Amino acid sequence: MQIVEIEKLHPTLDEVINIADQETVILRKPGGKMFVLSQVDKFDVEVELLKNNKEFMRFLKELSQEKSTISLSDFKHELGL
């Protein structure tokens, strides 16, 4: 992990991305606020997109409130057997 002081170094975006290609970068602004830049893979991106998808989160909430088990007779009844 590398901390880059924005005020002192004035790095270009390309320079910061090149560092982040090798290790996680923490950007520190004057005043102390910090931000993290690191590589992500497709799975990380998908998780973030789904986490922010209200419809998908609503679906998961409904799914989690369903009964976790069903009797064989109820299952057959649902299938019309």
Percentage with pLDDT > 70 across the chain: 99
Residues 26 and 53 placed together within one structural domain of the fold: no
pLDDT value at 9 more than 80: no
pLDDT in tens, 46-72: 988 899 999 999 998 988 887 767 888
Q: Are residues 46 and 73 both part of a single domain?
A: yes
| Number of compact structural domains in the chain | 2
The verdict on 28 and 49 lying in the same domain is no
CATH number at residue 28: 3.40.1620
CB 29 within 8 A of CB 19: no
Q: Is the CB of residue 30 less than 8 Å from the CB of residue 6?
A: yes
- 27 pLDDT more than 80: yes
Query: 26: pLDDT confidence band, cut at 50, 70 and 90?
Result: very high
pTM value surpassing 0.75: no
Domain coverage including residue 21: 2-37
Distances (CA, A) of 26 to 1, 22, 40, 79: 7, 13, 15, 55
The single-letter DSSP state of residue 52 is: T
CA–CA dist 81, 75 (Å, integer): 9
Task: Note whether 25 and 8 are same-domain residues.
Answer: yes
**Hey, which residues does 25 pair with through a beta bridge?**
2, 37
